[in-house]
Structure 1
Amino acid sequence: MRQTVDSVFRGIFLILLGIVFFANMYGFLPWNFWINVFDLWPLLLIFAGLALFFNKRIPFSAVLVAFLIGLVGYSVIWGNPSLDKPIPGPHGTGNVLGLYAPLDPHVEKATVALNLGGVNMSVRGVDGRYDTNRLVEGTYEWSGRANFGAPEFNYKTNGDTTKLQFNSEKRAGSGEDKLLLNLSDQVYYTKVELNAGAVKGAMDFSRLQIENLEVSTGASDIELRFGDTGGRTKLDLSTGAAKLNLVVPESVGLKIKISGFASETNFAGKGLILSSEDWVSPNYEEARTKIEMDISMAAGKINLERIATPLNSDEKAESLQAKL
């Protein structure tokens, strides 16, 4: 009797496995769905323990069927990680992970959460008018050492909002990883969050509309670049020993509050006026774009660059016509 039950469940398992592979091949279920095995493998122990508890009356083939059903259900309910297959890096020294998230036609807003260890990064907004199907594109490169965990990237869309999350904090000790991330400017970013250890690089948001930007790092050397995109942005930045470069167009209204022990700033030389505890640009009230910064720094240097506001496409056309 037990052998008959085992044979039945073996057949069911093979049928289900074949259905899953067909779903993978025809796009109903992404191939990266199998990555969820690493999240759910403890279920195998639980199901195997239940089989032993019932004096092995439950065959192992039934355990595999239950695990496969649980794996599919988990992926359908919680979504699939948006990961391309890691491929060997240059000269076989590491891995490169492709990062991609589509832009649903109904999506108008997005949130981004980056949890990083030691990393060199480049995060920037790009012109999405010519690729309206893509919200995020990028790569993450890391060395192939086994004592660090693999990075994780996932996204989930609910209504008009897509939530993006990238996590490589398990690799906090490497310091050699490289992140390149491009964000489409076709949505409004209600929140962008960066939590990192030792980090070096740039975040260019000059094309993006961001409501809340939260940055928390250890020792860092980073550049934050903003544009005159309209609206209001609130930046909360907390860092240890750091070198911070802020690039902001002259037309943008600025209000900056500093706490901690920033050893050097050049705000006065860039036309900002100290009012109570805030450094404020003279054009703050009438500016169409306003950025409020609350910066907490253990030690370091803050450099502010006020650049000319780039012309938009209409203004460029008018300027060219005037010259002709």
Structure 2
Amino acid sequence: MKTGKIGLGVFLLAIGIIWILISFNVISFSYVTTFFISAFKLWPLILIFIGVNLVFKYNSAVKTISWILYFSIVLSYGIIANPKIGFEGVKINLDLGNRRNENYVKYSEKIKEATKNGKIDISLGATKINLDGNTKELFSADVPESVKLNKVDYSNNDKDVKIDLNKSHYFDFASKTCSFNLNKNVLWDIDMNTGAINGTMDMTDIKLKKLDLNIGASSIDMKFGSGYDKTKVDINAGASNINLTVPRSSGIRIKISKITNHTNLDSLGWNKNKDVYESPNYDKAESKIDMEVQMGISNFNVYLSE
């Protein structure tokens, strides 16, 4: 039997076993997310091991050992660098990205009295993100210098404003922290496109009209408030661990597809019609949140806040 077929068989067998273990809650999905994030950070390793395979292409033993070593290094890095899913008490900082001495810059814009509606476009690579509504400015951002503020455009007699921030290049695989603060008195439309991310988006105090989130393999907590009567949320994610916290008083409707792992939606006692979940108070609630969620192999949970 050819070595390539053996390798493919072993790969499919491993995926199948991992999938079953996750489905029966033997292992947590966070291990899978951490593996992908670790592989992303340690991407140069893949070049080394591909080179080894090319040099020893006729030695199946060396090729097999090399890939076992690669996966072991990536998984070990993920466990040690993230104590929450590794060994309790281990706090070894292996965040390779933060060892790069990239300077940070701060952007902000004074809020104008006439400004009522804001749209912010954020395009980033792999990053750690913190977003909340804690600023008296129109917005503020504390980001690596590779993230540029392209424009702040006002229109309609300063009633509307559009903000555009993006990373100037995508070949920086370091995971840096990006912090964004939005004024809670402005009605916001947030459009975010990123690679692998982790962190928190606390929109409890933000008047949110629309959130469009396009992310890769990620682990993120999102908190929503009830500051606007009709909020639209679109989430498109790869293999991810996503936790949502929504107000119990709000009417919630979630259309979810491509979930191939775990979600707690069935345990909430909500009304269900095919792939749509709806809270019992949806029709009568003064504040509504409508979500469309598309994800790969994922962990997706919804929690209710008072």
Q: TM-score category by the smaller chain?
A: 0.5 to 0.7
Q: Structure 1 residues 303, 183: CA separation in 2 closer, same or farther (over 3 Å shift)?
A: same
- Matched with 2:140 is 137
On the 8 A contact 1:116/1:172 being kept in 2, the answer is: no
Q: Which has the higher contact order (CA 8 A, sep 6+)?
A: 2
Report how far residue 92 of structure 1 moved. Answer: 8.7
Q: Structure 1 residues 249, 172: CA separation in 2 closer, same or farther (over 3 Å shift)?
A: farther
Letter in 2 for 1:282: P
1:118-161 CA-partner distances (Å, limit 9, x unpaired): 100101112x5xx3xx111120136xxxxxxx221131111211
Q: Which runs of 5+ in 2 are unaligned?
A: 1-97
Report how far residue 116 of structure 1 moved. Answer: 0.6
Matches within 5 A, 1:65-80: none
Letter in 2 for 1:156: D
- Matched with 2:154 is 157
Take 1:240 and 1:172, find their aligned partners in 2: how far apart are those partners? 20
Report how far residue 271 of structure 1 moved. Answer: 2.7
1:277-317 CA-partner distances (Å, limit 9, x unpaired): 31010010111110111000011110111111xxxxxxxxx
What TM-score, normalized by structure 1, do the two folds share? 0.60
Stretches of 4+ moved more than 3 A in 1? none
Take 2:105 and 2:222, find their aligned partners in 1: how far apart are those partners? 25
- Matched with 1:291 is 289
What TM-score, normalized by structure 2, do the two folds share? 0.64
**Structure label with greater radius of gyration:** 1
Q: Does 1:183 align with 2:179?
A: no
Letter in 2 for 1:123: L
Letter in 2 for 1:218: G
Report how far residue 248 of structure 1 moved. Answer: 0.5
On the 8 A contact 1:118/1:172 being kept in 2, the answer is: no
Letter in 2 for 1:195: N
- Matched with 1:248 is 246
Q: Which runs of 5+ in 1 are unaligned?
A: 1-89, 143-149, 309-324
On the 8 A contact 2:209/2:228 being kept in 1, the answer is: no
Tell me which protein shows more strand as a share of its residues: 1
Take 2:210 and 2:243, find their aligned partners in 1: how far apart are those partners? 19
Q: Structure 1 residues 250, 169: CA separation in 2 closer, same or farther (over 3 Å shift)?
A: farther
1:154-204 CA-partner distances (Å, limit 9, x unpaired): 311112111011101623542321101110111111x21010001111111
Q: Which among 92, 104, 109 is matched to residue 96 of structure 1?
A: 104
Q: Percent identity?
A: 25
**Number of equivalenced pairs:** 206
Q: Which among 207, 214, 217 is matched to residue 216 of structure 1?
A: 214
Q: Does 1:118 align with 2:116?
A: no
